[in-house]
């Protein structure tokens, strides 16, 4: 992959800085009781959301989780929408009916709202990817899952579905070391969670989640491969959740040494050092970015705080989607519909294997079964069709005598049968000696 331009390097820096500043602002709003729902931090994980989302094109789709505000900002969501959503204000698509991060934009930004049931976004976004391919849009769909969420059943069902369908889908597995208060080693006996992709026959990457360039590079390669028809790809990013599950969680279960190690690997500090050493960022450029973010967030916060709360009578409205009155969702075809409808899309519903055989042979025995690349079994001899003495004894049928008389009786009986009928003799469980006594 070709090297990034200076502007692209600076874009990654800007969005990581904006991600952290937006969350710092929301922490202040939360402490002022202006945020009505839960608040989840991505402190220390900014490189994951920004680096992966930056690899997508405008037409691509994404579905964020609670720690992927950076992905929303990269996709074009203004900070005011993030603030108002958390403050349950009226000037949003959810109209104040949700006080957390559950909002999206299907029409313009191609963002699917988060789903609280962890893992459920995987089959949903696999379906979005397949739908885009069906419509000829050549899109890629992306979503994220945590290390804990990768242990849910729907994670495996969704990933298997995407693999079988070769969906243009990229799944980012954020291994931030803790599923709430459960460490990874207590839930998964694997060093790399990316190994879970092997079960479904799809490729995977393992990336340093605190190196935004490494994250972007892996994500861009995965997105390009998925768009070219190689199917889904799993990216495991190893990072660390530096705060608790939410604002109510002090995360005292995290060892101090572990926290100190990861705090020293802050993704923004590491990236600033890289940009400075490569002469891509100087003090003047950094000051300009600082002022730009401060000015933007001041205006966005004021707008959000002055936005009205939903009227009381609205509580009973919009509870259920009623079709076009709620929102219009219609397919956007980018190829001829005739390509995916009969007769062009029709295929014969026939499948056969040469030499497989079926049913019973004319003798009443099972037909010999074999595949085209295996040797056809030999036809059984007449001796093989006679009932063995052990089976005859088990069936309480007298075993055939070994005397000469028995042989003669059998011979006579066969000759009489030939005179009466031209049909071949039928092998039965009755011995020839018993037939002779009749």
What whole-number distance in Å separates Cα of residue 433 and Cα of residue 438?
A: 9
Q: Are residues 71 and 181 in the same domain?
A: yes
323 within domain boundaries: no
Q: Are residues 276 and 354 in the same domain?
A: no
Q: Are residues 191 and 235 in the same domain?
A: yes
pLDDT for the residue numbered 354? 56
Q: Are residues 71 and 205 in the same domain?
A: yes
Q: Are residues 305 and 354 in the same domain?
A: no
Residue 15 — very low, low, confident or very high, per pLDDT cuts 50/70/90?
very high
Q: Are residues 267 and 154 in the same domain?
A: yes
Q: Are residues 295 and 189 in the same domain?
A: yes
**How do residues 291-305 score in pLDDT, each as one tens digit?**
999 999 999 999 999
Residue 28 — very low, low, confident or very high, per pLDDT cuts 50/70/90?
very high
Q: Are residues 292 and 406 in the same domain?
A: no
Decide if 170 contacts 223 (C-beta within 8 A): yes
Q: Are residues 292 and 396 in the same domain?
A: no
Which residue has 């295929």 as its token pair?
347
Give mean pLDDT, residues 405-414.
Answer: 43
375 within domain boundaries: no
Between 380 and 428, whose confidence is greater? 380
39 within domain boundaries: yes
pTM: 0.78
Q: What's the whole-number average pLDDT of the chain?
A: 84
Confidence check: pLDDT of 411 > 50: no
Decide if 25 contacts 301 (C-beta within 8 A): yes
**How do residues 219-246 score in pLDDT, each as one tens digit?**
999 999 999 999 999 999 999 998 888 8
Taking the CB of residue 257, how many other CB atoms lie within 10 A of it?
Answer: 7
Give mean pLDDT, residues 83-96.
Answer: 88
385 within domain boundaries: no
206 forms beta bridges with 236
Decide if 83 contacts 25 (C-beta within 8 A): yes
Q: Are residues 125 and 220 in the same domain?
A: yes
Confidence check: pLDDT of 8 > 80: yes
Q: Are residues 286 and 406 in the same domain?
A: no
298 within domain boundaries: yes
Number of structural domains in the chain: 2
What whole-number distance in Å separates Cα of residue 321 and Cα of residue 32?
A: 34
Decide if 141 contacts 159 (C-beta within 8 A): no
Residue 221 maps to which CATH number? 3.40.50.970
- Nearest by Cα to 425 from 405, 436, 411, 404: 411
Residue 136 — very low, low, confident or very high, per pLDDT cuts 50/70/90?
very high
> What domain range is 394 assigned to?
347-363+390-435
422 within domain boundaries: yes
Tokens coding 280:
């891509």
30 within domain boundaries: yes
Q: Are residues 298 and 185 in the same domain?
A: yes
66 within domain boundaries: yes
DSSP-assigned letter for residue 365? S
Radius of gyration for the chain, computed over Cα atoms and rounded to the nearest angstrom: 35
**How do residues 31-87 score in pLDDT, each as one tens digit?**
999 998 888 889 999 999 999 999 999 999 999 998 999 999 999 999 999 999 999
């Amino acid at each position: 992959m070709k090297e990034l331009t200076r502007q692209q390097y600076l874009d990654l820096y800007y969005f990581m800085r904006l991600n952290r500043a937006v969350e710092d602002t929301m922490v202040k709003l939360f402490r002022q009781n202006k945020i009505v729902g839960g608040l989840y931090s991505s402190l220390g994980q900014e490189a994951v959301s920004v680096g992966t989302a930056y690899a997508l094109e405008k037409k691509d789709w994404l579905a964020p989780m609670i720690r992927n505000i950076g992905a929303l900002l990269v996709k074009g969501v203004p900070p005011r929408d993030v603030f108002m959503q958390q403050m349950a204000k009226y000037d949003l698509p959810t109209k104040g009916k949700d006080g957390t991060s559950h909002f999206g934009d299907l029409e313009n930004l191609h963002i699917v709202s988060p789903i609280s049931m962890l893992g459920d976004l995987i089959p949903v976004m696999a379906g979005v990817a397949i739908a885009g391919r069906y419509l000829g849009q050549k899109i890629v769909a992306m979503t994220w899952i945590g290390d804990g969420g990768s242990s849910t059943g729907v994670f495996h069902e969704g990933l298997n579905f995407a693999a079988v369908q070769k969906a243009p889908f990229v799944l980012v597995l954020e291994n931030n070391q803790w599923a709430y208060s459960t460490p990874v080693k207590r839930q998964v006996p694997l060093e790399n969670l990316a190994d879970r992709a092997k079960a479904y026959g799809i490729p995977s990457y393992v990336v340093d989640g605190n190196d935004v360039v490494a994250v972007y590079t892996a994500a861009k390669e995965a997105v390009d491969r998925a768009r070219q028809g190689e199917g889904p790809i799993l990216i495991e990013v190893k990072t660390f959740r530096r705060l608790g599950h939410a604002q109510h969680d002090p995360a005292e279960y995290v060892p101090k040494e572990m926290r100190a190690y990861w705090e020293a690997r802050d993704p923004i500090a590491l990236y600033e050092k890289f940009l400075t050493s490569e002469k891509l960022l100087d003090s003047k450029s950094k000051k300009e970015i600082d002022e730009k973010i401060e000015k933007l967030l001041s205006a966005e916060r004021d707008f959000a705080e002055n936005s009205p709360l939903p009227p009381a009578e609205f509580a009973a409205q919009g509870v259920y989607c009623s079709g076009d009155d709620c929102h219009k969702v219609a397919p956007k075809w980018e190829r001829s519909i005739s390509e995916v409808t009969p007769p062009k899309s029709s295929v014969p519903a026939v499948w056969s294997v040469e030499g497989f055989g079926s049913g019973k042979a004319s003798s009443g025995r099972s037909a010999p079964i074999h595949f085209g690349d295996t040797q056809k079994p030999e036809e059984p001899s007449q001796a093989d069709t006679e009932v063995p003495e052990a089976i005859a004894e088990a069936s309480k049928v007298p075993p055939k005598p070994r005397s000469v008389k028995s042989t003669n009786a059998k011979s006579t009986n066969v000759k009489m049968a030939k005179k009466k009928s031209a049909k071949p003799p039928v092998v039965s469980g009755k011995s020839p000696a018993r037939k002779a006594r009749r």
